[in-house]
Each structure stands twice: as structure tokens, then as C-alpha cells.
Amino acid sequence: MQDSPAREVPSLFGMPLEKGRWVLVASGLIINLWMGSIYAWSVFVGPLTDYYTGKLGQAVTANDILMPFSVFLAVFAVTMPFTGKIIDRYGPRNVTISGGVLTGLGWLLASFSSSVAVLSVMYGVIGGIGVGIAYSVLVAVSARWFPDRRGLAVGLTVLGVGFSAFFTANIAGWLIGASGVMNTFRAFGVMIIVVTTLLALPLRFPAPGWVPSGWTPPALKPGEEKPCECSRSRMLRSSSFYGLWACYFIGSLAGLMAVSIAQPAGTDVGIAAGFATFLVGFFAIFNGAGRPVFGALTDKITPRNAAMVSFVLIALASLLMWQVPVVPVYILAFAVLWGCLGGWLAIAPTTTGSYFGTRDYPRCYGVVFLAYGAGAIAGPQLAGFIKTSTGSYIGVFPYVLTLAVVGIVIAFTLMKPPKPCREEA
């Protein structure tokens, strides 16, 4: 049965809407905690390499083992633009449950893969579609319920994805040691299905036009006009969209590169494998914290300035890793890179809502999110190519430094609110 996506609800969980809406944010956060287990991928790199080379006798390279990670994130991004209409038709509860089941099924089927290519299809394609469906719903729910604190609410919702590796990397490491890498895939698949199904049950949208009691939109400053409520087609004609997309791509490339190689890059600079696995969870704290921090920062200092702060941090981290690849610098630089990735997963959705409105938000942000998918392909594969060519991951950082400088220029020149527009209903 279809659940109503925009039914007037006098209260949520026995509380006024202004308080009950925070429970929906909490539900989204916990669902994303399990959906975000992709960020623990670097913990699987070594065990999967051993499994395919040792047990199955197949020759695999660093690029091969990073391919499922790239496919997952790319499919995740490509799926999002197509979910807008189904969210409105079937409602956030049903769509989220469907996404969670597909994600868990991807993990389960991956446990039976006989090659990296099969793993990329089962885990990367099926799992990626599932996360793409569910994630877009959770962001849209928070964006619609919080016109007054959109950056903070969206940042907290996606905080679960950021913090995921803090929990899932260590859980995965323990399970791999206890029962093997493929049994770990099975366990994760079951947990994702169960958690998502239960926590998606209360999800819903507010009634059209609902605003929190006592809140009115900020008064326009002299010379300002009302922000645009854009359709996706109108957004695609705006230079602001292309500036946001390019900046999101650069931020995602840098961050996803750091996520995909965190554990093996740690061993490259002399860290023991066990401690490097622990550090993946440690970096996840920064990835998670970066989301509400940059979300709130986007609300306060404008999206353009928040973007430039992020790129300055990425540039400094990359410069340090390039010039001083030692253990303390590795820890500092990767914490910053993970944090800035988390930041972009709050800056981009918040900016989309602020610049282009929420009328067509799921479809608009779905297109913006393709930048993340492009970064998911370019970042890990660039890192894998550098590793294969030079024997080290350090050579990737001069390129990331250059891109961060380019990002500063693009953010300054193009990441501005679009001109007000009048859209057809």
C-alpha cells in the first residue's frame, strides 16, 4: 500500500511537529550508519586480495580490488536522479525500505562472487542502486522538514554515513578475522536489511507549505530577491549549478581517494596493519563530524565561503602528504581529507536546497550528486594507477593539491545564488 508522502500530521511520536521531526533525523542518521559501510572498504582490500589470489588463484591488482568500491559509489550517484518521481509516488517509507533491501541483497550476493568482476556487479551495481535510492529519500526528508535549519539537519542525517566506518571498519575487521571475508559480507547484508526496514517505518514528508511554528523566512536584504524555486531543467541552465557540480567533484575526488586507500596508505608510511585498520575508524569520526560542522558553516557564512574553506584544507593536507609522508602527517592529512569529504556531503545538498529550492529537490540534488559519482570513479582509480605505476600512493597528492587550488577559483567565481526565476507549477 502506498504511504502518503505529504499527509498533514498533527504530531510526530506524540510530540509537536517541531520536536518530533528530530526523530526522523535520528532515524535517517542510523540508517545511513549502515548504508555508509562502503567507507570501510579499505579494510576489505587486503583480505579480498588474499581471497582471490590465495584461495581462488586469480591475479588481481590494486585497481581491481578498488573497482567494486568505485562501481558502488558511481552507481549510487547515477541512481539518485531517477528517484525523485518514485519518492513522490510511493512515499519515503516504502522507497527507503526498497533501497535497504537492495543494498543488503548486494552484500549478500557479493559473498558468493567468484571473481572481482562478479563482486563489482553484485556489490557495486546492486548495492549501489540500493544506497542511491535510500540515501536520496533521507536527505529529502530532512531538507523538507527543516527549512529553518536545513544545513544542520541535512548534516546530521548524513552524519551516519560519515561515522559509519568508525563502527563498521572495526566490526568488519573482527568478523574477517573470526569467520572470513565472505561471511562478513553476509553478516553486513542481513544487518542492513533489518535495520533499514525497521527504522524506515516512521518516515514521511510534511504537508506542502508547512513551516515550523513561530518561524518566518529571513527578511531579504536591500537589493535581494526571493530565492529561486527551480525545476531540474531550470537548474541545468544556471551557471551556479555548474560551479557547484565542479566543486563537489573536486571535493569528492580528494575525499574518496583518501577513503579508498586509508588502510594501505597507512602501511606504506610504516604503520602496522592492525593500527592502520583502527585509524580507518578514527578517520570516520572526522568524516562524520565534518557533515554537521560544514552544514552549519554553510548556513552561516554562505555556501561559497564554506566551499573555499574546504578547498584550503584539502590543499594544505595534500601538500603535507606530498612533502612530508611520515606517520604524524599521514594521520593529520587523512583526518582532514576525510573531514572535508564529509563536509561536501553537507555543503552540496544544503546548497542545492538554498540555491534551487525544494520543490524539485530530489531530482535536482540527484543531478548534483553525479559529481560525487564522478569523484568516486576518478579518485580511487587515480590512486590505484599511481600505486601500480610507482609502488606508492604518495604520488597522487600533487594532483589533488592542484585540483584544490582550481576548486578555490571555481567556488569564488561561480558558486553564487542563481538569478531569481519564475517556474511553471
Give the Å distances, CA to CA, from 115 to 108, 109, 111: 15, 12, 11
- Statement: residue 135 has pLDDT above 70: yes
Between 127-131, 155-159, 318-322, the lowest mean confidence (pLDDT) is in 155-159
CA atoms of 246 and 368, how far apart (whole Å): 9
Q: Which of 196, 89, 201 is nearest to 135 (CA)?
A: 196
- End-to-end CA distance of the chain: give it in Å, rounded: 28
What pLDDT score does 423 carry? 47
Show the cell assigned to 230: 527551480
Overall average pLDDT of the 65-83 stretch: 83
- Rounded Cα–Cα distance for residues 120 and 128 (Å): 10
pLDDT of residue 424: 44
Using one digit for the tens of pLDDT, what is the confidence trace for 274-313?
788 788 778 878 887 888 889 888 888 889 999 999 999 9
Instruction: State percent of the chain over pLDDT 90.
Output: 29
Helix ranges, 120-238 (H): 128-145, 150-179, 181-200, 232-235
pLDDT tens figures, 377-425: 888 778 878 777 877 777 888 888 998 999 999 999 999 888 765 544 3
The residue type at 89:
R
Tell me what the mean pLDDT of segment 167-185 comes to. 89
Hey, what long-range contacts does 169-178 have (CB within 8 A, 24 or more apart)?
169/39, 169/40, 169/42, 169/43, 169/277, 169/280, 169/281, 169/284, 170/277, 170/278, 170/281, 172/37, 172/40, 172/43, 172/44, 173/43, 173/277, 176/43, 176/44, 176/47
Average pLDDT of the chain to the nearest whole number: 84
Q: Distance between CA atoms of 340 and 291, rounded to whole angstroms?
A: 8
Q: Are 200 and 3 in contact (CB under 8 A)?
A: no
**Backbone phi, psi, residue 15, to 5°:** -120, 160
Count, in order, helices (H) and strands (E) of the chain.
16, 0
Report the pLDDT averaged over residues 270-276. Answer: 80
Query: For the stretch 340-365, what's the b/e string if a residue is b when 16 or more beta carbons lie within 10 angstroms of its beta carbon?
Result: bbbbbbbbbbbbbbbbbbbebbbbbb
Mean pLDDT along residues 340-352: 89
CA pair distance 298, 342, nearest whole angstrom: 13
Give the model's pLDDT for residue 6.
46
Q: Which amino acid is at 108?
A: L
Is residue 388 within 8 Å of residue 62, measured between CB atoms? yes
- Is 4's pLDDT higher than 60? no
Residues near 135 by Cβ (< 8 Å), separated by ≥ 6? Answer: 32, 35, 76, 80, 99, 158, 161
Q: Which residues pair with 12 in a beta bridge?
A: 15
Q: Which amino acid makes up residue 280?
A: V
Q: Domain 17-209+226-414 adopts which CATH fold?
A: Growth Hormone; Chain: A; (1.20.1250)
Q: Which three cell numbers stand for residue 112?
A: 558468493
Would you call 111 helix, strand, or coil by DSSP? coil
